[in-house]
Amino acid sequence: MMALAFYWYPKCGTCRKAKKWLEESNVDLNEIHIVDNPPAKEQLKEMYQNSGLELKKFFNTSGQKYRELGLKDKIGTASEDELLELLASEGMLIKRPLAYDGKKTTVGFNEAEYEKNWA
């Protein structure tokens, strides 16, 4: 199995909690700084398709960037392509942590979800 691609922002408390959980569960991690190295559009598309989630769940809706760009109004009408473009253009728009193993994707940190997917 490939190492878990773990996109995170070190200053984010939720990310640190998720990372600690993964380390304590002995999950092989590939830590990726979400702002310095956001996932590319194709990667995001793959993650989204494997997540079973709506694409809007990938947005960090409480983030400053999200508000600055007025995305609340755009998100309902934008195409999947436009939304993926946006996410790929700015790591701070992506809800974090984002974890992906080539087959499954989790967005944010929920212990039960982590238990089910990554333990």
Using 50, 70 and 90 to split pLDDT, how confident is the model at 99? very high
List the chain domain ranges.
4-118
Using 50, 70 and 90 to split pLDDT, how confident is the model at 1? low
Q: What is the mean pLDDT of the chain?
A: 96
Burial of 7 from C-beta contacts in 10 A (0-12 / 13-18 / 19+):
buried
Using 50, 70 and 90 to split pLDDT, how confident is the model at 33? very high
Burial of 104 from C-beta contacts in 10 A (0-12 / 13-18 / 19+):
middle
Q: Over the stretch 104-116, which tens digit does the pLDDT of each residue have?
A: 999 999 999 999 9
pLDDT at 91 (0 to 100): 96
Question: What is the signed CA dihedral for 119, 108, 54, 47, rounded to 10 degrees?
Answer: -60
3-class SS of residue 34:
coil
Q: What is the mean pLDDT of residues 21-26?
A: 97
pLDDT at 56 (0 to 100): 95
Fold adopted by 4-118:
Glutaredoxin (3.40.30)
pLDDT at 2 (0 to 100): 72
Cα-based angle 22, 20, 105 (whole degrees, multiple of 5): 40
Residue type, 81: D
